[in-house]
Structure 1
C-alpha cells in the first residue's frame, strides 16, 4: 500500500545565528516537531548557509552516518582522525562516526557564502571504527539521468555507508522523465528538490520541497521545468546490530 508524506519548503524548522542560516526538514537543535522526527533511518536533513569566514567549531558525533553535499562554495573539514580536506560543489563527503569522532567545518573564504546539505543516517551497526571519505563526482553524469552518489557497497559508485541506503542526484531538463526502481524491499524514498519543479508520480515539488513515499516498488520522476533533485532511498525501520 502506497504511503506518502509531503513537506513544503516553508514548513521546515529554521535557525538563524547570524553567521548560519539553517532549514531543518526534521527535528534538530531547538526545532522540535514530534511529527517530523525522521523518515525511516533518515534522521537529519539540514539545508545550511554559512557566512564567509565562519563555521562550526570542533564538536563530537557518534553512531551516525553523516553525509555532506556542498551546493555552493568551499567548506574546510578537520577531524580527530587527522583528516584535513576541502569539499566543494561536485563533491560528497561521508563520515561514519561509530565509536566517536570530533570534527569542525569552516568557510575559509571571507567573500562568499557556503551552501551545503548536512544529512544524518542511523547506521545498521553500532560502535564501528570511525572513518572518513570524500570523492569528486562528474557533474555530467547526472544530466538527464540519475547519478548514484552513495550506497551500502564499498566497491559501488559513490561513497558507502553502514546502511542499506542509496542516494542519487539528478539534473533534468524540462520534460525529461525517468522511473526509479527501489533497490531493497521495504525501503522508502525521500526526494528533496533542490531547484525548479519536479513531479514524483502525480505530486508536484517546487524548490526545497521534500516528499517521501513508501510501500511501492518504483516511482516516476518528471521534470516540469529544468530541475535538480536528490533521491534518498532508506530503510523505514531502524534496526541496529552491535559490532561487538
Structure 2
C-alpha cells in the first residue's frame, strides 16, 4: 500500500458563526482532486461547534459514521429514537445503511464542543 502523508496545515477549512471545521478530504466548499477519499474513508473532519449549536437533523445513507469527542459534550439523536450525550473517552458509532436521519449538537449552553467525525462507505443493505 502506498504511504500518503497530508500535514495538518494543508487541510481544507470552513468557518461559520457556529462552526470551525478542518477537512482532511474534499468537503463543503473545499475541493482537492487529490483528496477525495482514502479507500472507503470519505470524511475526516475536526469540528469545533459553538455552545448550543450544531448539525441539525439531516440524512445519511450507506455510511458508517463515527464521532469522537475531544472536548465538551456532544448530543446525538437519530430517527431510530436513539439519543445520548457523549463526551471525552466515548465514541459514537452509527450505521446509516439504507438511510437514517440524525443530529449532532453541542449539549453545553456555554462551552464549545470539539470532535472528530469520520464517514466511510458501507455496503448497502436492503
TM-score (norm. length: structure 2): 0.96
Unpaired segments of 5 or more residues in structure 2?
none
Counterpart in the other structure of 1:178: none
- In the aligned structure 1, how far is the partner of 2:104 from the partner of 2:4? 32
Q: After superposing the two structures, state which structure 1 stretch, 104-113 or 65-74, moved more.
A: 104-113
Q: Residue 68 of structure 2 aligns to a residue in which SS?
A: strand
How far is the alpha carbon of 1:40 from its aligned partner? 0.8
How far is the alpha carbon of 1:100 from its aligned partner? 0.6
Q: Residue 10 of structure 1 aligns to a residue in which SS?
A: helix
Give the count of matched residue pairs.
126
Matches within 5 A, 1:1-244: 3-123=2-122, 125-127=123-125, 243=126
- In the aligned structure 2, how far is the partner of 1:73 from the partner of 1:116? 8
Which of structures 1 and 2 has the larger relative contact order (alpha carbons within 8 angstroms, sep 6+)? 2
* CA offsets 1:112-131 (integer angstroms, 9 cap, x no match): 110000000111x213xxxx
* CA offsets 1:32-78 (integer angstroms, 9 cap, x no match): 11100011111110000001111111100000000001110001111
- In the aligned structure 1, how far is the partner of 2:107 from the partner of 2:121? 30
Q: Residue 126 of structure 1 aligns to a residue in which SS?
A: coil
- In the aligned structure 1, how far is the partner of 2:2 from the partner of 2:52? 43
- The structure with the larger Rg is 1
Unpaired segments of 5 or more residues in structure 1?
128-242
How far is the alpha carbon of 1:108 from its aligned partner? 2.3
TM-score (norm. length: structure 1): 0.50
How far is the alpha carbon of 1:3 from its aligned partner? 2.0
**8 A contact 2:85–2:107 mirrored in 1:** no
Structure 1 consecutive aligned stretches of length 4 or more whose deviation exceeds 4 Å: none
RMSD of equivalent CA atoms: 1.0
- In the aligned structure 2, how far is the partner of 1:89 from the partner of 1:30? 29
